Structure 1
Amino acid sequence: MVCVCFCFVAPEVLKNEKYTFSPDWWGLGCLIYEMIEGQSPFRKHKERVKRDEIDRRVKEDQETYSDKFSEEAKSICRMLLAKNPGERLGCTEGGAAAVKQHPIFKNINFKRLEANMLEPPFLPDPRAVYCKDVLDIEQFSTVKGVNLDTTDDDFYSKFVTGCVSIPWQNEMIETGCFEDINAYETDGTVSPDREKSPKPKRGFFHRLFSGEVRELS
């Protein structure tokens, strides 16, 4: 069960317009903004607001910038959060290359980054959720009123993988979303939807030229 922040939904998506990669660049702009400001560009921290109002703000309101933003940070956010996809950075001529060439990334060697040769400046704790606080998650999550005691916490702590945080694992376990993708039945056999489909029958000419049909004497 994944919680989606509706501020990250691009205007063209809300308007049911055709799009390709433009919402991805919008999402990058929202992400950069939130990493700097500590809140979404169209909803204040812990603000209780209806979905319709969020949609209106995304389509109509201009985001504001505090003193936390450098001029370069303001520039890239404004360019990525352009309401019109045709004017948005990444969607214009140059595509992704134009995004990489923005001054805010001047100290990043993208070739070394793509080769996994750069040391990350920050290593998150896999047991923590950094994106939202619990109250914020609950506002958009379909799972309500789940209380875990110490026994549950001890049990679920054994499931940490280093990639998925414990709180998200708790929610996935509680919702039972894994039940639909179990590979095996209770008796240990492979479930019907996981069985390999039978090989299609080969035609006469395929068998003939592959040597399966011997010449009749």
Structure 2
Amino acid sequence: MSEVKLAASVRSEFGKGAARSIRREAKVPAVLYGHGVDPIHLALPAHELGLALRTSNVLLSLDIDGTTELAIPKAVQRDAIKNFLVHVDLLLVKRGEKVTVEVPVQAEGDLAAGGNLLEHVLGTLSVEAEATHLPEAVTVSVEGLEAGASVLAKDITLPAGVTLATDADAVVLQVLAAQAEEPAAEGEATEGAEA
């Protein structure tokens, strides 16, 4: 779990025009909410925030006017074409507090021979963990799995202190049998030879 420190400034202007102005200053508009406090509207440095968001479930340590607050990203909006950050919603967290987050599922190992395919039915698992110890991903071994095999959420070993919030019987990964190519019909082969 990585913790990234960012300097945040409180913003008082809202709306599309204000948001565009903030982005022109190489900052990203954000809202910090949670714990029953009024939402705090912030502007965060775009480059540093973009680097931080490359890590799944990053913990942000925000310096807001001399006060440090911990937050995790809850919703990240990006421009559909240019992929720059448009807006970020942040959830206020406290050390020791348990939160529920989505964690990417990564498969490792080789399937049994035969050209079978591995299907990721769920790309992420919903887990509950302490806010300052969120896992970046969970790894599942698929070594030697045969066609028809599946891995359920309850079969995945989670790091210490992390509990499963997804339905335990949900299929996360399944192995699909390789499809054999159908031979060309005789009529098709004959037409190709005559052409």
TM-score (norm 1): 0.23
Q: Indicate the structure with greater strand content.
A: 2
Q: Which has the larger radius of gyration?
A: 1
Q: Indicate the structure with greater helix content.
A: 1
